[in-house]
Amino acid sequence: MSGELSVEARRALEAILFLSDEPISSTMLSQAVESPRRDVEAALRALEATYQERRAGIVLREVAGGWRLLTHPETAPYVEGFVLSSRHARLTRASLETLAIVAYKQPVTRHQISGIRGVNSEGVLRALFDRGLVEEVGRDDGPGRAILYGTTAEFLERLGLSSLSDLPPMAPLLEDAEAERTPASPD
């Protein structure tokens, strides 16, 4: 029989989410608080709504296959000012380009990335790997069996995406880039 979670179980859910540094699935949370998953999911939705109604500095989001407490997007300027670690430093243009190629073309080899960018991308790829945004996802079947790269759950989490299917379609982005390069014709 299912029902509403006890105050103790709801409090435990919030504490576990607060301590976690990665998204936690509703199945794992239901095991942790020894309650039916359906009840845990209802409690998570209620907690999500409570933060929203309170206009709290934190939000509860379902990202990368699990639930995670995050800072509210409107607090970004304050949080960015406070957090000065290299792990959260802004990505360079080269890093953003490389990350976009991996995200949209994965699985992709280092050689393919360098071919698209037109420059050697080994160092940039290594930096993204060290930051946990890309990972090795296999080996190419071709000669040399090159390493294939893809994005990580950390990538999804940092972008607030549930899955890669949530990435914006590339066609409008390409049209905007082409429009910026093409000078307007005088009428």
CATH number at residue 15: 1.10.10.10
Residues 109 and 150 in one domain: yes
Residues 92 and 69 in one domain: no
Residue 103 in any domain: the answer is yes
Residues 68 and 94 in one domain: no
Residues 80-130 pLDDT 10s: 776 545 455 678 888 989 999 999 999 999 999 999 988 888 889 999 998
Residues 129 and 52 in one domain: no
Domain boundary among 24, 53, 76: 76
Domain count along the chain: 2
Per-residue confidence at 1, pLDDT binned at 50, 70, 90? very low
The Cα–Cα gap between 70 and 47 comes to 13
Question: What pLDDT is attached to residue 91?
Answer: 82
| Cβ–Cβ under 8 Å, residues 5 and 13 | yes
Per-residue confidence at 173, pLDDT binned at 50, 70, 90? low
Say whether pTM exceeds 0.85.
Answer: no
Per-residue confidence at 169, pLDDT binned at 50, 70, 90? confident
Residues 72 and 128 in one domain: no
Per-residue confidence at 184, pLDDT binned at 50, 70, 90? low
Residue 187 in any domain: the answer is no
Residue 140 in any domain: the answer is yes
pLDDT higher than 90, residue 37 = yes
Calculate the alpha carbon distances from 18 to 13, 22, 55 in Å. 9, 10, 18
The Cα–Cα gap between 112 and 18 comes to 40
Question: What pLDDT is attached to residue 181?
Answer: 59
Residues 90 and 176 in one domain: yes
pLDDT higher than 70, residue 77 = yes
Q: Can you give the three-state secondary structure of 84-140, one letter per residue?
A: CCHHHCCCCHHHHHHHHHHHHHCCEEHHHHHHHHCCCCHHHHHHHHHCCCEEEEEEC
Residue 91 in any domain: the answer is yes
Residue 167 in any domain: the answer is yes
Residues 70 and 139 in one domain: no
Phi, psi of 134 (to 5 degrees): -130, 155
| Mean pLDDT along residues 151-162 | 88
Please state, for a pLDDT cut of 70, what percent of the chain lies above it.
85
Question: What pLDDT is attached to residue 87?
Answer: 54
The domain in which residue 92 lies consists of 86-181
Q: Which two structure tokens, joined as six digits, stand for 77?
A: 């300027």
Question: What pLDDT is attached to residue 86?
Answer: 46
Residues 176 and 107 in one domain: yes
Residues 61 and 145 in one domain: no
Residues 63 and 91 in one domain: no
Residues 72 and 90 in one domain: no
Residues 99 and 164 in one domain: yes
Domain boundary among 19, 50, 76: 76
